[in-house]
Amino acid sequence: MEQLPLWFLLLSLALPRVSLLTGYLVADISIITNLSGWIAPALGVLVPRSLVLILIFQDRGMSPWLVVHAIAMAAVYAAAGSGSR
């Protein structure tokens, strides 16, 4: 059974920090609390898109959702590095 709800998968494409915080506070996503120690909070603050990728991989494995989120992550980081002066 898949644990990640559809709202999390859609919202985390555009707003990964908001979706992680909402999922943590609402306790809809129990996978976030299963990561050990400071790994989840550190990844959630520093690189939330990578934490979302880890959560999707743990929940669904190699799925189309993982590919879509990986492409979104690559696009965001590529666009952030190519700013004009």
The answer to whether the CB of 2 falls within 8 A of the CB of 13 is no
> What angle is formed at CA 5 by the lines to CA 20 and CA 73, rounded to 5 degrees?
50
Which pTM was predicted? 0.78
Q: What is the pLDDT of residues 36-82, one digit of tens each?
A: 667 777 777 888 888 889 888 888 889 999 999 999 999 988 888 77
The whole-number pLDDT of residue 66 equals 92
- Per-residue CA distances from 39 to 8, 14, 42, 66, 81 (Å): 20, 22, 5, 20, 25
Is the pLDDT assigned to residue 1 strictly greater than 50?
A: no
Q: Three-state SS across the chain?
A: CCCCCHHHHHHHHHCHHHHHHHHHHHCCCCHHHHCCCCHHHHHHHHCHHHHHHHHHHHHHCCCHHHHHHHHHHHHHHHHHHCCCC
Higher pLDDT residue, 1 or 33? Answer: 33
Q: What is the pLDDT of residues 12-28, one digit of tens each?
A: 999 988 888 888 777 66
